[in-house]
A and B are shown apart, each in its own frame.
Chain A
Amino acid sequence: MPAMLRTLAQRLGLMSDTFPGGIHPEEHKLSAGLPIEMNALAPIHILPMKQHIGEACSPLVSVGDRVLRGQKIAKAEGYLSVPVHAPTSGTVVKIEEHAIAHPSGMGMPSIFIESDGDDAADASLQPLTDWINCDPTMLRERARVCGLAGLGGAVFPTFIKLVKDQRYPIDTVILNGIECEPFLTNDHALMQAHADEIVVGLAMLRHMVGATAALIAIEENKPEAIAALQQAVADAAMDQVQVVVLPVRYPQGSEKQLIYSLTGKEVPAGKLPMHVGVLCQNVGTTKALHDAILLGRPLTERIVTVSGDALPTPANLCVRLGTPMRSLLERQGLKSMEGVELIHGGPMMGERLRHPDIPVVKSTNGILALSHGFMSAAHSVEQPCIRCGHCSEACPVSLVPNLLADQCRADQFDKAESYNLFDCIECGCCSYVCPSNIPLVHYFRYGKGQLALQRREQAFAEASRQRSESRMARIEREKAEKAARRSRVRKAHAPAASDAKTADAKVAADTKPATGTDSKEHS
């Protein structure tokens, strides 16, 4: 839509001034404005081998090894992967499967480190104080080596976004300080306490991707953070950096929605922000980038909001990765886990945890202890859809959730896909507004899972069919060869054999049996 039309529509109140759809849930920001407290070292740190989106890592240490803080203990496998580092100095006591924050309740191979209390750091990474003169690829490699992944919660490996591509020049860097999830205040606290580092990190980002403009987006319910960053930008005397204050709206912190709010650009389906000339980074990730480059410090700690209506004293804690969540909840005064529901992340997109002995990982922006009563309001009995259309109105990607849910419920997955099921970002706005308490997001997850399963099965069947066919062809060929050989023998005895048969046999002999060697290569 042309910009003028859009402005007119906004003036008339026909369109929201941010992105279409969205909701404004009660904020519940119990820990807003509280300073960051340092959490004491836990006796045991548990580090799952996958804390990012992409492929899992493989351990570099074995049981009994002594490790230092920041030492790489697991190496990245594949391109879409970042390494894991020891959060403190100590000894590797075991490497085994441990529960992680995943709805399946399945485990993940994890390295257990017993802390020795010294917290001795590994000094092998040199600080790059002269980063402004460093090659961007070198800085990018630093981001990868230090294990940086998006700390807003999606944990997409950071280095992948920090690319200077001739085809897709990036003109704008956006710092995401929106934090639209209720309860969470970790970014708010970080922006208040580390505004200067964030601004330096922003300068690094601009240098790395060659962008000129930069926007720092913060929602208007964080006045202290806005003031701190405005001050920091002024102090650093940076040009073309703007602190943009946006109205409170969920899910504004979602990358694509934020880009739309700020620039009016839509990231095409299946593409990345860089395809529209934008780099979007969370403020926490930016601070971590600053630490990685300027201090040579890998990602071993993060800010975590510990909150919830069942928690006596909510707080913003600076926590080492691998710290069991139970210790944080107990530190904030939670006496018993009875009648308490635990959520990893915010209440809108976070996962419910089955037990509290799950470690803090790179994606842990919050841990919530909610009372049963609070939770059950969102999970009461599903009633029939009355087609009120509130879900369509709330959907930030303009889906029609009630129709999609009907299709998923009836296993009409192809239809659901044609209604753009895979464009759903699972923000939960539809379920939030539904008067019939329909767990819409749950239906979409079911549909997506079943579609993925169907695709895997189809791909597997297709591959099996091809292998079976090529095997059949090979057997045929071998038979033909044998027959040809026999006829050659016969030809030696009877010299008047036909020429055509010899030609056939030659062709067959030239084409080597392929499949046997092929499969060996695959293995």
Chain B
Amino acid sequence: MPLIMLSSPHLHGGDSIRMQMLTVILALLPATLVAVYLFGWLAVLMICTTIAVCLLTEAVCLKLMGRPLSTLLDQSAALTGLLLALTLPAATPWWMVVLGAVFAIVLGKQVYGGLGYNIFNPALSARVILLISFPLQMTTWIVPMSMPDAALNLYDISEALTLFLHGPAALAAGFDAVTMATPLGHIKTEATLGVPVADALAAYHYSYLDAFLGAEAGSLGETSALALLIGGIFLLARHTITWHIPVAYLGTMALLAGIFHAIDPTHFAPPLFHLFAGGLMLCAFFMATDPVSSPVTRLGQIVFGIGCGVLTWSIRSFGGYPEGAMFAVLLMNCAVPLIDHYCRPTVYGHGSD
């Protein structure tokens, strides 16, 4: 220390990357617990696999690039692994899970130069690669354990292991018995047949309470709006994220859905359905707020959130895919440098120019 030129300040607040990552991991705990409750050992297996593979891949990448392995301790790879697992359908076979984790670290993060340089959210980009490459497996949804007609006992480790290793097709119970559609997927399919939204929801036995609590088909960690809200509020309280992105994102979604539902209720789903459905909550609180791939300026974050909202709602309502949250976030990630450039706040003393 003595010989180097040191500039003020000589005091530090004590925040660190590791601290921020650990806070987010902690905030994901409720959603993780719900995932374990809904999908039993299968969830545990998947989460452990992604985290382990992500850490391993990160270590290999760091080694290859000649960087210190101590960077692993910042926990960003572990967080990427956890986030990836929570966005995957429970029926994803093991090799796809491993592939996704490798994609997330290598293509999502390290090719750009490592932590802090990636344009896209690593977990989301890996998930989208998987979705586009393996559309069938990525849209097969296991009936969660909370449902009375769950044919599988995922709390039994051997059954979960069979499913994890061999996929749903290998099960004795038969493919159709263990899988079901997500609410978003269901209304999308029905809409193509010309069935009004309200009838489609009634046929699905849709309940807002179940959707809010998480008792519905979907990816591991995205079903429970409640658990994700608890995590999001924890992040807000800890000041790891600010309200701008989630509020702008969810607000835009609710507003657009509300307006169009009021105009044409047969074709457009109600706002509350949109808010609780699919990966919106997970994306709004954990993906869109990923600091590296979101704007730094407050105004920029609001613009970013609105953009995500418009895109998500548009894809869900008019696109080919039933869910658009992850595409929306990734598309908006591209626009971040531009948003940051134009949304800089007015500097003190320049208010009148």
Residues of A within 8 A of B (CB): 23, 25-26, 103, 182, 256, 260, 266-271, 341, 343, 345, 347-352, 370, 372, 375-380, 383-393, 396-400, 402-403, 419-420, 423, 426, 428, 431-437, 439, 441-442, 445
A268–B352 touching, CB < 8 Å: yes
B16–A375 touching, CB < 8 Å: no
Within 8 Å of chain A (Cβ to Cβ): is B350? yes
Closest beta carbon of chain A to B67's beta carbon, Å:
11
Contact with B296, one of A26, A343, A392 (Cβ below 8 angstroms)? A392
**Known A402-B296, A403-B296: A349·B9 in contact at CB below 8 Å:** yes
**Known A256-B348, A398-B347: A351·B15 in contact at CB below 8 Å:** no
Cα–Cα, bound, A178→B136 (Å) = 65
Q: CB-CB < 8 A to A436: which residues of B?
A: 16-17, 116
Contact with B8, one of A380, A383, A385, A428 (Cβ below 8 angstroms)? A428
Within 8 Å of chain A (Cβ to Cβ): is B351? yes
B351–A266 touching, CB < 8 Å: yes
A352–B15 touching, CB < 8 Å: no
Interface residues of B in 24-39 (CB under 8 A from A): none
Residues of B within 8 A of A (CB): 1, 5-17, 19-20, 74, 114-117, 240, 242, 291-292, 294-298, 301, 340, 344-352
Which 10 A-B pairs rank lowest in CB-CB distance, beginning with the nearest?
A428-B9, A384-B116, A269-B349, A442-B7, A397-B348, A389-B296, A378-B12, A398-B345, A388-B291, A435-B15
**Known A103-B5, A350-B8, A400-B340: A392·B298 in contact at CB below 8 Å:** yes
Closest beta carbon of chain A to B345's beta carbon, Å:
4
Q: CB-CB < 8 A to B19: which residues of A?
A: 435
B8–A349 touching, CB < 8 Å: yes
**Known A379-B1, A432-B12, A435-B19: A441·B7 in contact at CB below 8 Å:** yes
Closest A residue to B337 by beta carbon equals A403
A433–B13 touching, CB < 8 Å: yes
Q: CB-CB < 8 A to A376: which residues of B?
A: 1
Closest A residue to B4 by beta carbon equals A379
Closest beta carbon of chain B to A418's beta carbon, Å:
10
Cα–Cα, bound, A391→B295 (Å) = 13
Cα–Cα, bound, A445→B74 (Å) = 29
Contact with B13, one of A25, A370, A386 (Cβ below 8 angstroms)? A25
Cα–Cα, bound, A260→B347 (Å) = 13
Please name 14 pairs of A and B residues whose Cβ atoms are closer than 8 Å in the assembled complex, sorted by A. Answer: A269-B347, A347-B10, A352-B8, A376-B1, A380-B12, A386-B116, A388-B20, A388-B291, A392-B296, A392-B298, A398-B347, A420-B347, A434-B15, A436-B17
Q: CB-CB < 8 A to B347: which residues of A?
A: 269, 397-399, 420, 423
B11–A432 touching, CB < 8 Å: yes
Cα–Cα, bound, A435→B5 (Å) = 21
Instruction: Output the residue of B11, B294, B347 with the most chain A CB within 10 A.
Output: B11
